Amino acid sequence: MTSQIEVYAGTAGHSAWFSNDQGQTWVHPNSHSGMYLEARVWSYTSHASDPHLLYAGTDMGLFRWDERTTRWTFLPSPMNDIWALTQDPDDARVIYAGTRPAGFYRSTDAGLTWAQLPTPGIQTFSEINMGPTRVTQILFDPREHNTIWAVVEIGGVYRSLDRGNTWELKTEGLVSCDMHGIAIVHNQSGQKIMYATTNRGLHRSLDLGETWNFIALDSPWQYTRGITVQPGNDAVIFLTNGNGPPGNTGQLWRSQDYGYTWHKLTLPGHLNSTPWSVATHPSDPQLMFTYTNLGQLFRSTDGGEHWQRLPHEFGELRTLHWRPTQYPASRPAHSITVRPPVTA
């Protein structure tokens, strides 16, 4: 087997794209790869124990990519539109999914069968935007794996203390329940600090989500989207901020003191929309990617100190994921672009 870094982009209308040169160039699997070319890809998840498998949540349901065969496999499920995915840190076969309209689901057999997780009071339709709510992120507590957090746009923060069997809504102090992202850090004394992002700003909780406090940024806009902790260093957090979805400009922020102060980072050139998220991986905490909602790409190889704008520009990007992966040594690079048609 050959190992390399693979980067996966999920678009809103042109399915999944792949890069094996850290985002310099990209390929788009052809129509025989197993996923509709105009699918909307909202989320990815992968697990260190399965370096050849990747799961994608789309507006057409759940798909699994296999680096050994370079094909997508559709996995039938009760979910039609999957916005959030994660896997149990202790068992790659246990997958959690969040949908639009908002709902939580779990599979214990690598996506073959699914059960909906009871969530009393969860709203599936919002009068605010006259549309369905959606789950935008599901996150395991990095130290206490029985605890899972999920955020719903538009619906608030949910906490489970029993690996998803039961859920509680935690919204006290939020200035908005239009939720986008969530993060957990532990400071030097071991105190757990929660952060959540909304359309009206960043929030902090020091009591496991029981209460939230608004944290104002020194920014002309308080709209916040992705919040990401640097692997291996809880003091360093990255935050994306802009003037709306998609917006026409924005800012990338970094904190080096567990989120108590924030400093702007320079992304080269003019931003065409709000920065959406930062993609990291524990295999290399210095390598990271960020992107705007309308498809600009940036890469840092020094932990966010400096950023390079990458040449490819997508249309609308909704997720970016990278990881070390494995594939057969005999497989030609980017063979996903030349798979022949399947004949009867």
pLDDT at 341: 32
Amino acid at 50: D
- If you average pLDDT over residues 211-237, what whole number do you get? 98
83 vs 75: CA distance, rounded Å: 15
Q: Sign of dihedral through CA atoms 196, 200, 201, 207?
A: negative
pLDDT at residue 74 is higher than 90: yes
- If you average pLDDT over residues 49-56, what whole number do you get? 95
93 vs 90: CA distance, rounded Å: 9
For 15-56, give the DSSP string.
-EEEESSTTSS-B---TTSSS-TT-BEEEEEEETTEEEEEEE
Assigned domain for 343 exists: no
Exposed / middle / buried, residue 76 (Cβ in 10 Å: 0-12, 13-18, 19+): exposed
Summarised one tens digit per residue, pLDDT across range 187-213 is 999 999 999 999 999 999 999 999 999
Assigned domain for 126 exists: yes
pTM equals: 0.94
Summarised one tens digit per residue, pLDDT across range 165-176 is 999 999 999 999
Assigned domain for 41 exists: yes
Strand, helix or coil for residue 287 = coil
* Whether 154 contacts 83, CB under 8 Å: no
User: Which pair of tokens denotes residue 35?
Assistant: 């996923």
pLDDT at 342: 31
286 vs 68: CA distance, rounded Å: 28
Assigned domain for 118 exists: yes
* Whether 341 contacts 32, CB under 8 Å: yes
- DSSP single-letter state for residue 12: B
- If you average pLDDT over residues 57-62, what whole number do you get? 98
Assigned domain for 302 exists: yes
Among 100-104, 152-156, 240-244, 328-332, name the one with the lowest average pLDDT.
328-332
Among 10-19, 78-87, 122-131, name the one with the lowest average pLDDT.
122-131
- Domain carrying residue 124: 2-337
Percent of the chain with pLDDT strictly greater than 90? 89
- If you average pLDDT over residues 12-32, what whole number do you get? 93
Assigned domain for 17 exists: yes
264 vs 239: CA distance, rounded Å: 10
Assigned domain for 342 exists: no
Q: How many domains does the chain have?
A: 1
The mean pLDDT value of the chain amounts to: 93
- If you average pLDDT over residues 204-226, what whole number do you get? 98
Exposed / middle / buried, residue 325 (Cβ in 10 Å: 0-12, 13-18, 19+): buried
- DSSP single-letter state for residue 81: S
Strand, helix or coil for residue 158 = strand
Assigned domain for 145 exists: yes
* Whether 292 contacts 273, CB under 8 Å: yes
pLDDT at 31: 73
- DSSP single-letter state for residue 291: E
Summarised one tens digit per residue, pLDDT across range 283-316 is 999 999 999 999 999 999 999 999 999 999 999 9
Summarised one tens digit per residue, pLDDT across range 236-283 is 999 999 999 999 999 999 999 999 999 999 999 999 999 999 999 999
Check which CATH number belongs to the domain holding 152 and give it: 2.130.10.10
- If you average pLDDT over residues 209-226, what whole number do you get? 98
